[in-house]
Structure 1
Amino acid sequence: MRTDVAVESLTGGDAVVESLKRWDVDTVFGLPGVQLDQLFDALHRRGNGIRVIHTRHEQGAAYMALGAAASTGKPAVFAVVPGPGVLNAGAALSTAYACGARVLCVTSTVATAQIGRGNGALHEIPDQTGYLRGLTKWYGRATSAAEVPAVMDEAFRQLMSGRPRPVAVEVPPDVLAQRAVFAPQVRPAVPARPLVDASAVESAASLLMAAKKPMILVGSGARHAGPDLTRLAERLQAPVVSRTQGRGIVPDTSDYSWSAAMANDQWADVDVVLALGTRMTQLREWGTDKDLSVIRVDIDYPEIVRSGPPRLGIVADAADFTAELLALVEARGFQAVDRREELRRVRTDFAATLTQTIQPQTDYLRAIRAVLPDDGILVDEMTQVGFVARYAFPVTHPHGFISSSYQGTLGYGFATAIGVQAANPDRRVVAISGDGGFLFTMPELSVLAQQQIPLTTVVFADGHFGNVRRIQERSYGERFIASELHNPDFVQLAQSFGIRGLRAEGPAGLQDALATAFAGDGPTLIEVPVRIEDMASPWQFVHGRKVR
């Protein structure tokens, strides 16, 4: 060993904390337990600059990390015990996987000597490693304290390169306690993004500049492409369409920004589609024909061919490709025939249709938008207002709308929104939940109170699992079962935690209550009594796609 380099004796837990600091992690969401004692002690001793937010349930810790990652694009970390702790966090990990969120799960195992023996050690479950591998992009285990920095660095390299998805690290309790001598660690470089193929850019430009009715579809992989994407849309006179994960990349104040529902009836006329960083679910649902040319750009090659071979498939980062394509289109002086009036009319007609048909959800969302600042963030839920928010809530920046993507995780919203607000203390965040979904993680009200996180939570209370009841009514002859709820008084519930509790009647009442919440400090819960019978079905604009 070199003698001119400063070395330090650290525990494995210390090495985990130093790795988090090396990668600029400032918050750990977690719930301590015996296999993590050495880690939490290290966070106390060495975690200068790292805030620990401890939750009432492991799912809360994991959802909060999801919210922090989804709303910032940066890695977020949660720590839970093995076995039941990891299992409790599973729904949030699967949601992070669906959303492409940079979430790091730090957990432990049974003692090294007990791994795989099936002796019934505390918190032992069969094949925890396999479980974690199924829910993450990458998994690693440190088998000695000396291995911890390398394993942690690889976890962050995986988070920061390629397609964003969660990763997991296991550190056995004896390894967390073990000591080793470490030289100062240097953060390794993140692998470079793939170079953009110039010939592919040429081919894509030729198709798009020859198109009469082009369309651009975007997902979470294009969130960092916004300014160039807006200019490209103007050059091509193409609407930019997103379902949930790409909302706000082109702000909804622009004529070129469409929700996927606006595009339902326009798809049949599209001749060239450019898909950037998206699973492109629309391609499978709306259909294709021989007259449609598809250009797919994704950093994850399997995604490009998942729905069948495109006319042109390009492995690239969406923002890098967009910048190259825009530069080429501008260099050629190309400007498509002006379609702004047509694009604006689609938006205007759709807004009018919502006003006439999807009520009162549309008015509730307009009340929220009227008060929420432009840089604010809305977190949805699997609830009647949340479903409509996917296509009716105006989003003004790429991280302004947080949803659960294809996982559709009932109950994710409230705890996820706590993580969003914790990671964005200077922004206003509103969570919308139904009474059923809210009660999944309701105990995390204690986190709001203890940490004084200024989240505003709106609970639309109808006394039912509303969507279940609607399905039972319409498809099962009103044979209602397991859909009715027994609720607390949500205002009194909030107040019992020391949180401001308000009740609002109707959209105007909600707007006033939000203004009151935003005028004060600390967290607020607003209960909005509603009736499922009064809610229009949101599904005609989610499933009413026009198939070619």
Structure 2
Amino acid sequence: MNAGMTQDAMEASTGEALITLLEKYDVDVVFGIPGVHTAELYRGLAGSKVRHVTPRHEQGAGFMADGYARVSGKPGVCLVITGPGLTNTITAMAQARADSVPMLVISGVGRRGSLGHGRGALHELPDQRAMMASFALFSHTLLSASDLPGVMARAFAILNSGRPGPVHIEIPVDVMQERVAALPARVPALPSNPHPGRGDLEAAARLLSEARRPAIIVGGGARRANDDVTALAERLDAPVVTTANARGLLAGHPLRVPASPSLKAVRAFLAECDAVLALGTEMGPTDFDVYEDGGFPTLKGLVRVDIDAGQLARGPRAEMAILGDARATAAELCGALGAAKIGGERRGEDMARRLRAAAFEEIGDAYRGEVAILDAIRETLPGALFVGDSTQPVYAGNLYCDIDTPAGWFNSATGFGALGYGVPAAIGAAIADPDRLVVALLGDGGLQFSLAELGSAIDAGTPVIFIVWNNFGFREIETFMIERGIAPEGVKPTPPDFDSVAKAYGLAFERPMKLSDLPASLRRARDSGRAALIELRMPFDM
């Protein structure tokens, strides 16, 4: 036996070796639907510590992995069959790529000798790996079982450093049946993320400390940096604007501005600042130019911090571009500030208070009504995690909403913008943190993309509260068409009777008729101890 190899891994099957390696990389759950093309990969699962969760559709597996990863901070892992199983997962992988979510998708593929020949084998694609390589951070075909440890090491190095996203490994069905001679006793250490140099930190600290009117913008890359961002904001007395994927940072803090940079009030404020620190945000249009008016201003004294060098070269031009992890850089900036004198009379808390009021006023009556629903949920279920699909209350919340806990808000309405995300992502989130209450915000149209996953919530024992905003169709699209003089077609898919759907799957059900009834419905749903469906049928009495 080779030095450093474990005796119990001698002559393991590829599937057994795969599960053993997943355990070594601290994977505790995988999402997938088994098939004859992946059955061998399941060989080692039953005797392992890895939990398997079965969705109703492979897209659901991907979205569950996404929600799990965002909450746990670990990669979400999927096992799917070759061909349709993998193509069903692509939408979820694309959402993960857009939102920088670490996801490992392990799929089957045909026998090595069949690849590229186009003979009509079951589930065959012309070039499955090439298709995945077009958007995955890394895609690899395992041509020999002996290569598995090295390929897994490379995959997890990519998943745990730099800007995360989806990674794909495909295993031919004949390789699945090979034996792996031995596995390493320990997996390689994961690489660390880049840290900025002292010169950059000192220059950024000097620029920010000398400014008379600084501000901070935080994105999803800083969602786990609450304490460090808070300390930095307090040291600079700077208002903090949180994008949708950072919402919940500085919860309750007087320097928080939980409002979109697409709002005119926020843009005007940022344009008047003489220094802006952007932490972990790609500064992309789904956060910074929702209305596609091209009106986001040129920022003076812009310092961008991002973990991806390529991203620093895109978007607004910065006076300083710092390659580094947002959390570590925020902490190190605080240290670099030291005892530096902070310039001007900043009155950061007063500016933040006035900006919160102006942004809330700007979103208009309809969105303020939907934010009132979000506030009612937050006040009734403090500390709940909000997971959203693309629907009106989510659009409203992405523009403005106060969330009472860091990393307490995420949805698919930014970036790739997939429908059908909310139900499975909420299940994945609940599996990642079973002690936390999860609320899923859904539209009746989007819910029907993944309606069957309500049954997966029951199977997985996740007591998610699913809230469906039922306006009997795709109301946003209908309004968009009407406003542009287009006769609306295809915008009225008939929703099911949600009461009957809940009964069919075994969910608790509530249908409050007005906002004042919602808190009691939420409490009953929570106290049921099982997954629950709450329908808000339009028009809803506010």
TM-score range, shorter chain: over 0.9
Say what the alpha-carbon RMSD is for the aligned residues: 2.1
Aligned CA distance change for structure 1 residues 286 and 329 (closer, same or farther; 3 Å) = farther
Measured in 1, the distance between the counterparts of 2:316 and 2:220 equals: 21
Q: Partner residue of 2:37? A: 35
Deviation at 1:6, TM superposition (A): 4.4
Residue number in structure 2 paired with 1:517: 525
Quickly say closer, same or farther: Cα 1:429–1:5, change in 2 above 3 A: closer
Amino acid at match of 1:25: V
Gaps of 5+ in 2: none
Distance 1:529 1:283, change over 3 A: closer
Distance in 1 between residues matched to 2:181 and 2:231, nearest whole Å:
53
What SS does the corresponding residue of 2:493 show, helix, strand or coil? coil
Asked if structure 1 preserves the Cα contact closer than 8 Å seen for 2:228 and 2:330, the reply is yes
Matches within 5 A, 1:307-386: 307-334=315-342, 337=345, 338-351=347-360, 356=365, 358-374=367-383, 376-386=384-394
2:236 aligns with: 236
User: 459, 477, 487: which is aligned to 1:450?
Assistant: 459
Aligned positions of 1:49-448 closer than 5 A: 49-260=49-260, 261=263, 263-281=266-284, 285-289=294-298, 292-334=300-342, 337=345, 338-351=347-360, 356=365, 358-374=367-383, 376-404=384-412, 405-448=414-457
Letter in 2 for 1:464: G
CA separation of 1:310/1:136 partners in 2, compared to 1, >3 Å: closer, same or farther?
same
Q: CA deviation at 1:159?
A: 0.5
The structure 1 residue matched to 2:498, chosen from 485, 490, 498, is 490
User: Quick one: distance in 2 between partners of 1:269 and 1:6?
Assistant: 62
Change (3 A) 1:460 1:183: closer
Q: Would the aligned equivalents of 1:504 and 1:510 in 2 still touch at CA under 8 Å? A: yes
Aligned residue identity for 2:44:
A
Query: Match of 1:264, SS?
Result: helix
Give SS of 2:44's match: helix
Number of the residue aligned with 1:504:
512
One-letter code of the match for 1:362?
V
Q: Distance in 2 between matches of 1:2 and 1:106?
A: 28
Query: 2:283, 2:316 within 8 Å by CA — same for their partners in 1?
Result: no
Q: Look up the match of 1:475.
A: 484
1:24 aligns with 2:29: no
| CA-CA distance at 1:333 after TM superposition | 5.0
Deviations 1:212-239 (A, max 9, x none): 2212111121223221211211222211
Letter paired with 1:341: D
Deviation at 1:520, TM superposition (A): 2.0
How far did 1:283 drift?
A: 6.7
Instruction: Note the C-alpha offset of 1:421.
Output: 1.1
Task: Return closer, same or farther for 1:81/1:507 CA change in 2, 3 Å cut-off.
Answer: same
Tell me the amino acid that sits aligned with residue 144 of structure 1.
S
* Range with greater deviation from structure 2 (387-396 or 245-254): 245-254
Per-residue Cα deviation, 1:312-333 (whole angstroms, up to 9, x for no partner): 1111111221111111223325
Q: Which moved more, 1:330-339 or 1:459-468?
A: 330-339
Describe the SS at the equivalent of 2:215.
Answer: strand
Alpha-carbon deviations, 1:468-489, whole Å to 9, x = none?
1111221125x12000121211
- Secondary structure (helix, strand or coil) at the match of 1:106 reads strand
Change (3 A) 1:333 1:240: same
* Bigger mean CA deviation after superposition, 130-139 or 247-256: 247-256
Q: Which moved more, 1:71-80 or 1:353-362?
A: 353-362
| Distance change >3 Å, CA 32–CA 403, structure 1 → 2 | same
3-state DSSP of counterpart to 2:66: helix
Give TM-score scaled by structure 1 length: 0.92
Q: Deviations over 1:326-382 (max 9, x none)?
A: 1122332547623322221222344455585535312211211111222x2001121
Which structure 1 residue ranges, 5 or more long, are not aligned?
536-548
How far 1:257 moved relative to its partner? 3.5
| Structure 1 residue identity aligned to 2:451 | M
- For these two proteins, the number of residue pairs brought into alignment is 529
- Separation in structure 2 between the aligned mates of residue 183 and residue 408 of structure 1, nearest angstrom: 40
Distance 1:27 1:271, change over 3 A: same
- Distance in 1 (alpha carbons) for counterparts of 2:376 and 2:195: 45
Shift of 1:151: 1.1
Letter matched to residue 45 of structure 2:
L
Whole-angstrom distance in 2 between the partners of 1:316 and 1:121: 46
Asked if the contact 2:420/2:450 (under 8 Å) is kept, the reply is yes
1:215, 1:503 → 2: CA distance? 43
- % identical aligned pairs: 33
CA distance 1:2–1:151, change in 2 (3 Å): closer
* Cα distance in 1 for residues equivalent to 2:326 and 2:513: 44
